[in-house]
Amino acid sequence: MKRSRVGLSAVALLSVGALALTGCSSSGGSTEKSSGADTDAIITTNGSEPQMSLLPANTTETGGGKIMTSIFAGLVSYDAEGAIENEVAESIESDDATNWTVTLKDGWKFTNDEEVTSESFVDAWNYAVLYDNAQGGSYFFDNIVGFSDLQNSKDDPSGAVDEEGNPIQVGDPLAEEMSGLKVVDDKTFTVELSVPEADWPLRLGYTAFMPLPSAAFEDMEAFGENPIGNGPYMLDGEGAWVHEEKINLVTNPDYEGVRKPVNGGLEIIFYATQDAAYADVLAGNLDVLDAIPDSAFETYESDFGDRAVNQAAAIFQGFNMPYYLEHWSGEEGKLRRAAISMAINREEITDVIFQGTRTPATDFTSPVIDGWTDDLEGAEVLEYNPDEAKKLWAEADAIAPYGDTVFDIAYNSDGGHQGWVDAVTNSIANTLGITAQGKPYPTFAAAIDDRDNDKLTGGTRAGWQADYPSLYNFLAPLYVTGAGSNYEDYSSEEFEALLEEGASASNVEDATAKYQEAQEVLLKDLPAIPLWYSNVTGVSADTVDNVVFGWDSVPLYHEITKG
């Protein structure tokens, strides 16, 4: 299925003299569908236990992300093809791509009946950035003036004082609010960026930019267990989130945005394995499954016919090698990373294991994003070349012998990864003559906790499902020093300088060129070993209709009908 793509060009095509995003309407047809839909019907679908409590700026993984985008509405949202349309925003305008004015629509409320105002966004964004609040998505705001003042000051703050005149100590933030955020009135606020960014509105549908009600700031920990949102769905009362099992959402009766549900709610079930989920959807006990286990790749299309989907999505998959491990840093580490990459037969694995549902990677992004290319300098390191792999491994051994060290790749058993991990480690072992194996964790949360706490013993499964449709989103969150998803501690001044040049470029072509140059640095350093791009492979039971999978592989839940 050929899908239209939206990237930097979506906003940059507007003239700088009138950069604006105004008056977008729903492209979906949910209004027409609602008349024939059973709005009492609950859609059952698969998910995973969120790693963290449900706070918008601290939810940086897919399990929590599905929930957050269902219970919150931001300034904009994304349609099935990745185009942005205004949701809470009436307009987002700028004359220079640096100073932006955001105007909100009337009538928006949180489910506790509190009005959504400018403060709802500004207070939430400031909370996300303040260092002491430790929000994993804080780096999404690093282009707003005053961002660094809310971070931990690493150096002597040079006699600075707080609002009460008390000296600011080393380690304290220099401010409590970003100076680039200003509330004008209840429906208007302004944002000053540190550098021009013509595609800034593209970011604003991501969960980190969602608003928060004042009740959240009274007890943020309690709020994260039972969040109050403003989106199409809301938690089904106390106890709706049964940890490690499921979460129950019902429709928000006051929601009038562009994602108006035509069903009664969602039951998102946290399956221990994808095989169990597939068995349930086959039996009609699960309505929608958005990831087919590899054991069903040969049969899912014949099992489900036109209710099976195999389409391109903004998903990159690979594995990372932590820099804190012996043998994986410095010149030795660079040689071993290249050797490992060239020891993997991606073509064979995608053909045999994935049966045409994956495409070998040639970069660190996704073919569905504008600016993608398969012609980067240095991309030959992603090609299967056993002779060169052995040569590079031997050069690394001359620096420090690897000896009997076991090479392992950590993965979560509940994600259906064992088949490809076994194939990759077998390819590495057979090529390099070392012991290589998978290291299973029972859940995604357990696997990512060891990543977060520097407790890995080898490589780790890694991937990225885009937050918003831009090359930048595949690069900054994963590889910028200190970024929330840079678990393996990669750092490169050259890479970050090119990324910053791209973000502040005045036109799409220049921005894309810089992002491509930045990826060429990654191809030399290989903080991640790119493996393949993932299609969304999903199925639905005959209990539901109107199942559409979006650009990011997530079903458009609000459009699904049942009954």
Is the pLDDT at 6 greater than 60? The verdict is no
Confidence of residue 20 (pLDDT cuts 50, 70, 90): very low
**Alpha-carbon separation of residue 16 from 19, 76, 180, 204 (angstroms):** 5, 20, 20, 19
Give dist(CA 263, CA 222) in Å, integer.
28
Across the range 323-346, mean pLDDT stands at 97
In this prediction, residue 37 carries a pLDDT of 55
Confidence of residue 3 (pLDDT cuts 50, 70, 90): very low
* Domains observed in the chain: 9-145+180-266+541-562 (3.40.190.10), 314-535 (3.10.105.10)
E strand or H helix at 246, and its extent?
strand 246-251
341: closest CA among 422, 431, 414, 276? 431
The answer to whether the CB of 354 falls within 8 A of the CB of 294 is yes
Half-sphere exposure of residue 92: CA atoms within 13 angstroms, side-chain side: 26
In this prediction, residue 171 carries a pLDDT of 59
The answer to whether the CB of 57 falls within 8 A of the CB of 126 is no
Is the pLDDT at 490 greater than 80? The verdict is yes
Angle at 82 between CA 288 and CA 252, to 5 degrees: 55
In this prediction, residue 185 carries a pLDDT of 98
* Model confidence, pTM: 0.74
Is the pLDDT at 34 greater than 80? The verdict is no
Angle at 469 between CA 515 and CA 531, to 5 degrees: 65
Give dist(CA 270, CA 480) in Å, integer.
31
Strand partners, 185: 188
E strand or H helix at 266, and its extent?
strand 265-270
In this prediction, residue 219 carries a pLDDT of 96
368 vs 255: which has the higher pLDDT? 255
In this prediction, residue 134 carries a pLDDT of 85
Q: How many CB atoms lie within 10 A of CB 162?
A: 13
Confidence of residue 237 (pLDDT cuts 50, 70, 90): very high
Across the range 506-510, mean pLDDT stands at 78
Across the range 231-259, mean pLDDT stands at 96
Angle at 122 between CA 226 and CA 18, to 5 degrees: 130
- Total count of residues recorded for the chain: 563
Give dist(CA 518, CA 480) in Å, integer.
11
Q: What is the DSSP letter of 461?
A: E
The amino acid sitting at 527 is: P
Angle at 103 between CA 98 and CA 104, to 5 degrees: 140
Is the pLDDT at 484 greater than 90? The verdict is no
Angle at 74 between CA 516 and CA 147, to 5 degrees: 60
Question: Where do the DSSP E strands lie in 42-148?
Answer: 42-47, 76-78, 84-86, 89-94, 99-104
Percent helix, percent strand, percent coil in the chain, to nearest 5: 35, 20, 45
Across the range 119-141, mean pLDDT stands at 93
Confidence of residue 29 (pLDDT cuts 50, 70, 90): very low
The answer to whether the CB of 126 falls within 8 A of the CB of 189 is no
Is the pLDDT at 560 greater than 80? The verdict is yes
Beta strands 84-86 and 89-94, pairing class: unpaired
Is the pLDDT at 5 greater than 80? The verdict is no
Is the pLDDT at 356 greater than 90? The verdict is no
Confidence of residue 167 (pLDDT cuts 50, 70, 90): low
Strand partners, 437: 408
Per cent of the chain over pLDDT 70 is 90
Confidence of residue 9 (pLDDT cuts 50, 70, 90): very low
Strand partners, 531: none
322: closest CA among 491, 137, 496, 134? 491
Give dist(CA 374, CA 367) in Å, integer.
9
In this prediction, residue 169 carries a pLDDT of 62
Helices (H), 384-541: 386-399, 418-432, 444-452, 471-479, 493-503, 508-525
Mean pLDDT over all residues of the chain?
A: 88
* Token pair in block for residue 369: 């994003």
In this prediction, residue 511 carries a pLDDT of 87
Is the pLDDT at 163 greater than 80? The verdict is no
Which bin fits 239, alpha (ψ -120 to 50), beta or left (φ > 0)? Answer: left
Please report the DSSP string for 187-200 in residue order: TEEEEEBSS--TTG
Across the range 330-336, mean pLDDT stands at 97
Q: CA torsion 387→392→397→398, rounded to 10°?
A: 110
Confidence of residue 349 (pLDDT cuts 50, 70, 90): very high
282: closest CA among 299, 266, 270, 267? 299
**Alpha-carbon separation of residue 524 from 240, 327, 365, 378, 495 (angstroms):** 47, 17, 16, 7, 11
The amino acid sitting at 199 is: D
In this prediction, residue 368 carries a pLDDT of 87
| Residues near 119 by beta carbon (within 8 Å), at least 6 away in sequence | 183, 186, 214
Q: CA torsion 212→213→214→220, rounded to 10°?
A: -60
Across the range 241-249, mean pLDDT stands at 97
Q: How many CB atoms lie within 10 A of CB 429?
A: 15
E strand or H helix at 62, and its extent?
helix 62-71
In this prediction, residue 131 carries a pLDDT of 84
Give dist(CA 310, CA 356) in Å, integer.
9
Helices (H), 183-318: 220-225, 274-282, 300-304
In this prediction, residue 30 carries a pLDDT of 32
The answer to whether the CB of 8 falls within 8 A of the CB of 317 is no
